[in-house]
Each structure stands twice: as structure tokens, then as C-alpha cells.
Amino acid sequence: MTTSRRRALRLVTAPLALGALLLGVAPAQADGAGAGPGQGGPATADIVTTTKLQGRVAALTFDDGPNPHDTPRLLEVLEEHDVKAVFCLWGDVVRQNPDLVRQIVEAGHTLCNHTMHHEDLSGWSPEAVRADLEATSALIHEIVPGAPIPYFRAPYGAWGRSPQVAADLGMQPLGWTVTIEDWETQDADVLAERLETRVRANPGAVVLLHDGPVMDRSGTVEAVARVIPELEAEGWRFHKPDRRG
């Protein structure tokens, strides 16, 4: 079935949520996790790196998952503090962990296409990029039909021609402002210090974290568990990234 025919069918079965998907807009939510002032609109080829909201705001994003060893605990931490995040899903890992993808969606988090095989896209043709992104989204939708996928993130930040392709498919290219280099260490003390310090220094930032199975991610999860309540006590809130570039 072609992409256009799949979209037409989904529009019939779930008009509200999928109308938002076709427009490239994640539906607003009453809990503040949806599009806010200065956000929303159709996808563009600009790579977003902030929430574009004022004050003590940050967006948490997690790449390369889901991971059966660490993602369940991460979901518990986020639920405990009523924080919504963006999960950038790796297609090969999605295929191995469909129940976790369902849990992510059921918990109200936002999905991001992170390609099928986590390859460097910098030298790919637009046609090859499009085929990969469409295949990844189709796989996700086999598991969670109708779930919006409003963002795309290129592995390694190697964008190449992918931003325009993603925008044409209704997905906003999603970069980041802050990272804690959790691929270098899983020492929770080090990661918590980095996360807390760097978020405070960058109000409005999109934060890059990882929950994928390439390595143990328990340190990342523990750092998030420590830092969220500390930041919330200072008046910080967690929101989606911008949707306009």
C-alpha cells in the first residue's frame, strides 16, 4: 500500500489525531505537553534546537530506544514527575520491542523518527532518505496505528539532505542545544551534574539523552531521576521542542 493510501485510510479511522499528523502538527494537550505559545505550524526544513518558550523551560529527548533494560525505569521516572518527553525511535530496535513502543505512546510521550538502521545519512540521496524515513514510520505505525510522529532526528546529527525530506513528510528536524555525553560514561554522579548545570545555563534548550540498547543506560536514567525534581523545585517545567524551526 502506498503512503498516500495509508494516510487516507488512517484519516477515515482517526480523523482528529491523524489530521494533525498530516499537517505535521502534534495535537495540543491539556497538560501543557502540546504546542504552546510560539509553537505549532507545518514542518519546515529548519533544524529546531529549542522550545522557543521563555523562562525556565527544557525539552527532554531520548535517542536510540526503546531498551528493555532501561526504558521501563525511565518511563516510571517520567510518570512519577508528570514529565512528557520525546522518544527518537530506532527502527531495528522498535521491531524487537513493540510493547515498549506501545507503553511510550500510552504514557503520552511524543515520537520521533530516528531512521531504520541508525546510519550516517550525510551522503544519502533524497530518494534514499525518504525510503528509509517512510519505512521507519510505517514500522512504528504497525505497532501504534495513528500515533503522530511530528519529529525526525538524524543519527549522529549527520543531516545531509534529510531535513527537507523530513519536512516534506510532515516531520520537523529535531536537533539539540544541550547534551551530557552519556555515550562516554554512565557514571550517574557525572551525568547528573552535567544535566543540571547545562540545563540551567540554557533556558529553553532541547536536551539530548539516550535510552538505546547499545550500552547500559542506567546512569542516564538515574541522572534524570535526580535532576527532574531539583529543577522542578526551582520552577523549571518540561515541554515539547518547537515545531517551526
Supply φ then ψ for residue 114, to 5 degrees.
-120, 25
Which tens digits make up the pLDDT trace of 209-223? 999 999 999 999 999
In this structure, whether the domain defined by 41-238 belongs to CATH 3.20.20.370 is answered with yes
Mean pLDDT computed over 28-33: 28
Greater pLDDT, 74 or 2: 74
C-alpha–C-alpha distance, residues 18 and 83, integer Å: 24
Q: pLDDT > 70: what percent of the chain? A: 82
Q: 68-82, pLDDT tens digit by residue?
A: 999 999 999 999 999
Answer yes or no: 46 catalytic.
no
Q: Which of 210, 211, 239, 242 is catalytic?
A: 210
- Are the beta carbons of 176 and 51 closer than 8 angstroms? no
d(CA 225, CA 202): 20
Average pLDDT, the chain: 86
| Predicted local distance difference test score (pLDDT) of residue 18 | 31
Q: Which helix (H) or strand (E) holds 135?
A: helix 126-143
pLDDT at residue 33 is higher than 60: no
Over the stretch 6-20, which tens digit does the pLDDT of each residue have?
333 333 333 333 333
Model pLDDT for residues 180-218, shown as the tens digit of each residue: 999 999 999 999 999 999 999 999 999 999 999 999 999
DSSP string, 57-117: EEEEEEEEE--TTTHHHHHHHHHHTT---EEEE-HHHHHH-HHHHHHHHHTTPEEEE--SS
Q: Where are the beta strands (DSSP E) in the chain?
A: 57-65, 86-89, 110-113, 151-152, 172-173, 178-179, 206-210, 237-238
Residue ranges per structural domain of the chain: 41-238
pLDDT tens digit sequence for 124-161: 999 999 999 999 999 999 999 999 999 999 999 999 99
Spatial neighbors of 66 by CB under 8 A, at least 6 apart, are 87, 89, 93, 94, 97, 100, 101, 104, 211, 212
Query: 47-71, pLDDT tens digit by residue?
Result: 999 999 999 999 999 999 999 999 9
Model pLDDT, residue 28: 30
pLDDT per residue as tens digits for the range 104-114:
999 999 999 99
Q: Is 117 a catalytic residue?
A: no
For residue 243, the model assigns a pLDDT of 83
Question: CA–CA separation, 175 vs 32, rounded Å?
Answer: 21
